[in-house]
Amino acid sequence: MEKEALLIEIRKKAGTWLESNIDEETREQIQYLLSYDENELVESFYRSLEFGTGGLRGIMGVGTNRMNIYTVGMATQGLCNYLLACFKDLPQIKVAIAYDCRNNSPLFAETTARIFAANGIKAYLFDELKPTPELSFAIRHFGCQSGVVITASHNPKEYNGYKVYWDAGGQIIAPHDKNIISEVNKISSINEIKFDGDPALIETIGASFDDLYIDKLATLSLSPEAIRQQHDLKIVYTPIHGTGVKLVPMALEKFGFTQVINVPEQDEVNGDFPTVHSPNPEETAALAMALQRAEESGAKLVMATDPDADRVGIAVRDDQGKLILLNGNQTGSLLYYYMIRKWSENGKLTGKQYVAKTIVTTELLADIARKYGVEIFDVLTGFKFIADIMQRQEGKKEFIIGSEESYGYLAGDFVRDKDAVMSCALIAETAAWARGQGKTLYELLLDIYLEFGLYLEELTYIVKKGKSGAELIAEMMQNYRETPPAELAGSRVVLIHDYQSSKTQDIRTGETSPIELPKSNVLQFITEDNTRVSIRPSGTEPKIKFYFSVKGALENRQEYPAQKAKLEQKINTLNKELGISDK
């Protein structure tokens, strides 16, 4: 009976679309689903896309649960209505719009610009694909009240997305996210979308803006002399068919690097990502061609950015000369160590500086910050919360660097989102600085472990697609809350952080204390030996994620493989105990 009621509601939604001013191709696709593909009809219309940690994101196609010009249009019209209410006293509301390499990205961006213009809002539209962080920079540069970037980040080729930014240059957070969704939900018909705007209200941002952005990035360099001495460091870089193709080489050249080696097949801008299964720099396969190029050229450093160039994955040579991939926590640790230490050596630390990380990112970053007396802020998962801290601290304290485990980093305050263009330049600078001291990045990382302890982290996830998958993930979270583990990998659970109830429970005393962060569907279990397990549903993908963090001692570099193997076995045990895998 429940299924029949759902189907009636879904058919009604589809019928409403058919009665609207939609194009003929969309009309034919909906009629086909109504007649021949009930399952796809349900998936396309059973809900409306919602803003998660990354905004609007979904598979491209027809329907309320798909990315198309009408769901993009509804989101934009709702955003327009909200902007017109929030900034009604401004003589001219302004927004900036960027897009990545994905199929339909230019169409969605141009549609968005026309809708803004139709609502009397001035739109700055990039004339070609650009990295997401450059959109954040543009919002601040032009004094915009909002911004939109069309991207699905590292998702498979079937996806696209729509990320909304606010006036300080960071992604939207509460209350704006919920308020915008509320405005979108008030739109009962596609016919309410104003599609045809005054072209005079759309201004194109050209190539000269890239120079402004790159010049600003260059001000972050802390060791120009080290780069001059090590300018010939061989670096392989791939944009994996995405937006970093122009800007990352520009940034590396501006910093002073002269041996940047490309991967020609992956310099092709292509939303089908023909050379990879997934354009995700977290996955080894995505870097395969770059690694091969590095073997051929003898490069010491490999860097790969995702399609919208806000995240970067790297590979370095170990003590045997073998190329190995670092995870996001390891790269973040190298950047934190280098940036904070150089700020100290350059006499820039005055006691008013701070760094930030997300709650699922390695605690090694906090150890490094504490050594140098730098305050560290822990925020919820999502770089938008680091941007929020930056806005709150503006004019009070100076931001050095922020990091999240999912390969996102940011330095300076002129961009308010993770920035892989900037990160590539600073990672290369860190490598040049280490090389000047006779060390590789691998050896520098081991030195950090020798000083602060050997940390090892791993992210595991379970994919559950569609409506039934979302219900299963919700059930899993409920079960972990109702029956939390008493022990993990042989160590007693002593603390449970429940960010949804905003409470920490101390199992040893039975006492609870408040968590001073916004509510979020995240659980953390911490054991007596400082093992950490964090569990959260993804806000942008049909996944439930498990973040593991374990720590051990390291007495010398030679011990590293054996000690790392012990920690890996411990993580395997955690996977097994939580029923995630049987490895």
CATH value of 230-451 in 3.40.50.920, 3.40.50.300, 3.40.50.280, 3.40.120.10: 3.40.120.10
Question: pLDDT tens digits, residue range 499-539?
Answer: 999 999 999 999 999 999 999 999 999 999 999 999 999 86
Same fold, 230-451 and 454-577: no
Instruction: State whether the Cα torsion 475-480-482-485 is positive or negative.
Output: positive
Report domain extents, the chain. 1-46, 49-206, 230-451, 454-577
Burial, 64: exposed, middle or buried (Cβ in 10 Å; 0-12, 13-18, 19+)?
A: buried
- Is residue 520 annotated as part of the catalytic site, yes or no? no
Those residues whose C-beta lies under 8 Å from the C-beta of residue 52, and which sit 6 or more positions away, are 538, 539, 540
- Of 109, 78, 321, 285, residue with least CA distance to 190: 78
User: In terms of CATH architecture, what is 49-206?
Assistant: 3-Layer(aba) Sandwich (3.40)
Catalytic residue among 105, 136, 153, 223: 153
What is the maximum span of the chain, computed from C-alpha positions, in angstroms?
73
pLDDT at residue 582, rounded to an integer: 46
Topology (CATH) of 454-577: TATA-Binding Protein (3.30.310)
- Using a 10 angstrom Cβ sphere, with 0-12 exposed, 13-18 middle and 19 or more buried, the burial of residue 2 is exposed
Report residue 394: phi and psi, to 5°.
Answer: -60, 130
Which H helix or E strand runs over 329? helix 328-345
Q: What is the pLDDT of residue 184?
A: 81
pLDDT tens per residue, the chain (583 residues)?
A: 477 888 888 999 999 999 999 999 999 999 999 999 989 999 999 988 776 555 688 999 999 999 999 999 999 999 999 999 999 999 999 999 999 999 999 999 999 999 999 999 999 999 999 999 999 999 999 999 999 999 998 889 999 999 999 999 999 998 998 888 888 888 878 999 999 999 999 999 999 999 999 999 999 999 999 999 999 999 999 999 999 999 999 999 999 999 999 999 999 999 999 999 999 999 999 999 999 999 999 999 999 999 999 999 999 999 999 999 999 999 999 999 999 999 999 999 999 999 999 999 999 999 999 999 999 999 999 899 999 999 999 999 999 999 999 999 999 999 999 999 999 999 999 999 999 999 999 999 999 999 999 999 999 999 988 878 889 999 999 999 999 999 999 999 999 999 999 999 999 999 999 999 999 999 999 999 999 999 999 866 789 999 999 999 999 999 999 999 999 999 999 999 998 874 4
Please give the model's pTM, rounded to 2 decimal places: 0.94
